[in-house]
């Protein structure tokens, strides 16, 4: 059974409605893309793909997962697993890439501070 998709427009409309039934947004990007990004969808919670099994996501709210892959591979896999556990889950079509391309709202998040390379340390 295919995982339901939600378009960026439909998700934005649900967020803008301000209703108590706004979906829980779950950022399931892989470690590197997540850690090296400075943004996330507004109000999103982080749930690393290996940790979703032990999460305490609500059963009485819709859940929308998203990742950084326009093909939604990780997001769809996590949404499918949540559906099997009794959640009402879908995946954001196109992920955060399409969301950002449409210039929809994001919020800041911390990204690792990287030290500049030491002079002479990089050869090649």
What is the CATH classification number for the domain harbouring 50? 3.40.250.10
pLDDT of residue 68: 94
Residue 114 located in a structural domain: no
pLDDT of residue 100: 96
- CA dist., res. 63 & res. 24, Å (int): 5
pLDDT of residue 12: 96
Half-sphere exposure of 13 (CA within 13 A, CB side): 5
Residue 10 located in a structural domain: yes
Residue 19 located in a structural domain: yes
Residue 118 located in a structural domain: no
Residue 123 located in a structural domain: no
**Distance from the Cα of residue 109 to its chain's centroid:** 13
- CA dist., res. 22 & res. 61, Å (int): 8
Residue 121 located in a structural domain: no
**Residue numbers of the domain that contains 100:** 5-107
Q: Which helix or strand (DSSP H or E) is residue 45 part of?
A: strand 45-46
Average pLDDT score over the chain: 87
- CA dist., res. 4 & res. 6, Å (int): 7
**How many domains is the chain partitioned into structurally?**
1
Residue 28 located in a structural domain: yes
Residue 57 located in a structural domain: yes
Collect the ranges in the chain with pLDDT lower than 50: 122, 124
């Amino acid at each position: 059974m295919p995982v339901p998709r939600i378009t960026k427009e439909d998700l934005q409309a649900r967020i803008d409605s301000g209703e108590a039934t706004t979906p829980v947004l779950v950022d399931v990007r892989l470690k590197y893309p997540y850690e090296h990004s400075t943004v996330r969808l507004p109000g999103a919670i982080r749930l690393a793909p290996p940790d979703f099994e032990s999460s305490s996501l609500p059963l009485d709210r819709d859940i929308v997962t998203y990742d950084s892959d326009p093909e939604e591979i990780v997001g769809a896999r996590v949404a499918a697993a949540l559906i099997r556990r009794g959640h009402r889950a879908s995946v954001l079509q196109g992920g955060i890439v399409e969301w950002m391309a449409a210039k929809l709202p994001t919020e800041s998040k911390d990204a690792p501070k990287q030290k500049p390379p030491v002079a002479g340390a990089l050869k090649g």
